[in-house]
Chain A
Amino acid sequence: MSLRIVVCVKYVPDATGDRRFADDHTTDREAVDGLLSELDEYGVEQALRIAEASGDAEVTVLTVGPDDAKDALKKALSMGADKAVHVNDEDIHGTDVIGTSAIVAKALEKTGFDLVICGMASTDGTMGVLPALLAERLGLPQVTLLSEVSVEDGTVKGRRDGDAATELVEAALPAVVSVTDQSGEARYPSFKGIMAAKKKPVQSYDLDDLGIEADEVGLGGSWTAVETVTERPARTAGTIVKDEGEGGKQLAGYLADQKFI
């Protein structure tokens, strides 16, 4: 039976734009154009490579997000994923990561999978905890933060570069994997891929379809609460000097004044 890979992706505001908060302290999705989180492209890439190596695999890309999040799915489909799942329900607005993990876990169970692949973190929230939460909810091994990953004979193996050590890790499928930006450059969609993506199936689910009550999610169901959001004051303009032979000494003088030397 073919290997069923599901890649979890997120539609995020472009990090190069002027990202802001809405009045309810959620991410303002109107202020900046959205796109597939760059770090999730690595997840899609590794899913496609594993699928190509296996010869008999199906790659589904899954997202939870508003209408526009279909753009993130389209990008992943044009890279080569076979089909997509879009969980979209207005009651999801404001859901925290605990609630999001419940939605994604239900959607994964409904979709069916042997291997779940995530990016290392989103580029907006940057928590990096969803893969661990999915593993916890699904009762599966987490094989996460991998810089190298492969699947062979029903076992996923990878290299995890931690702060203190590099570890080789493995687990039998089914399992939840996350990959870092060191795992391998993501491919660009080809023209053919972009055209083909238009015909690929996108399955939509709402909370009802997943058997989740509205009060379990959203701002009301969130287990964390934002109290204040403050824009960081622009750094006050510093002193800029042009090096005319004494730049290093001038800088040393500044560092000495600031007691760094």
Chain B
Amino acid sequence: MAEILVLVDHADGVVRKPALELLTLARRVGEPSAVVLGAGAAAADIAAKVAEFGAAKVYVADGAEFADYLVVPKVDALTQIAKAADAAAVLVTSSGEGKEIAARVALRLGSGIITDAVDLEAGDGGPVATQSVFAASFQVKSKVSHGAPVITVKPNAVAPEAVAAAGAVENVTVAFTGNAAKVTSRTPRVSSGRPELTEAAIVVSGGRGVGEASGFRVVEELADSLGAAVGASRAAVDAGWYPHSNQVGQTGKQVSPQLYVAAGISGAIQHRAGMQTSKTIVAINKDAEAPIFELVDYGVVGDLFEVLPQLTAEVKARKG
């Protein structure tokens, strides 16, 4: 059966959820093999985890290079493994780094690349990827027509399905190339304790209507009552009220949760590009004419400082 390589994104020795989603998608088009790079002592745990989600093989490579140099060592490893395995396709998570790795691997393999897929299915002559483009106003289905397809997939494309597989570990010694930028320091992002924005099932975002940095407290309280991630519009981020790492929109994160709550966000195109594919959208805004109301399944015209705390209290009461 066609071997599909999945580059496993991991942090702090733990597999990140999008990697499990990739394994689930990979099973639709072939037999998944996981590639685990630079995980150190955590590789065994990671291998066990990906085996639970269908990885028949787990290629493991380690070395200081993965942490010391930008992008290129992972490109070296993934290319080498793809060639040796004669992989039928390579799947990578659509993060900034993931896309860069995928692009260079594609060029080295002589393969076409598709980025930011939101779905993947088997088709005649290889996987067919669905993309959501032009601020999610169009759906495009496309395929790679040259070489083994290299496809990056956005988080939340599919719910991960556990299916036990062999997970046979194969240790790989990578021949590293050069011409890479050196990483001189790395500061892990401090966790907010909330779900990752791009992976969360529910996202609660605040915008210009929040008014000031301290106004985000009502947004965070609602998020915490729902177990949600917190997002912010570009207006709120540019105003310095919330960190850029939480920005939802064209130049921030693109999210596609089950539920998106927009509080005090007008719904400019730049924001819509980042959230329009959410399954259910609700909004709270003072302005009944705000374009966000064109997108919503349920909207409340009102003051978010009245509506959000009441909603939070109600959520807590109903959850007991």
Contact = CB atoms under 8 A, between A and B. Distances in A.
A132 B71 contact: yes
B298 interface: yes
Interface in B170-189: 179-189
Contacts of B299: 238-241
Interface in B182-207: 182-189, 196, 198, 202
Interface in B265-320: 269-270, 273, 276, 280-282, 284, 288, 293-303, 306-315, 318-319
B184 A168 contact: yes
Contacts of A235: 281, 294-297
B142 A226 contact: yes
A15 B135 contact: yes
A231 to B, nearest CB: 6
B140 A226 contact: yes
A251 B112 contact: no
B104 to A, nearest CB: 4
Contacts of B250: 15, 123, 126
A261 B185 CA distance: 42
Interface residues on A, range: 35 or more
B269 A133 contact: no
Would you call the interface of chain A mostly helix, strand, loop, or mixed?
mixed
Would you call the interface of chain B mostly helix, strand, loop, or mixed?
mixed
Contacts of B138: 20-21, 229-232
Contact of B136 (A229, A232, A250): A232
B296 A224 contact: no
A15 to B, nearest CB: 6
A167 B130 CA distance: 32
A39 interface: yes
B307 A144 contact: no
Interface stretch (B33-41, B57-65, B95-103, B209-217): B95-103
Given A162-B97, A232-B139, A252-B318, 15 more contacts: A15-B250, A19-B137, A97-B113, A136-B104, A141-B72, A142-B181, A145-B96, A163-B96, A165-B186, A242-B288, A243-B306, A247-B300, A247-B302, A251-B298, A258-B259
Interface of B: 11, 70-72, 75, 95-97, 99-104, 106-108, 111-116, 123, 128, 132-147, 179-189, 196, 198, 202, 226, 244-245, 250-251, 258-259, 269-270, 273, 276, 280-282, 284, 288, 293-303, 306-315, 318-319
Interface of A: 15-16, 19-21, 25, 39, 96-98, 101, 120, 123-124, 126-129, 131-133, 135-137, 139-145, 160-171, 175, 180-182, 222-232, 234-235, 238-243, 246-252, 254-256, 258, 260-261
6 contacts: A131-B100, A132-B104, A225-B143, A227-B143, A232-B276, A251-B298
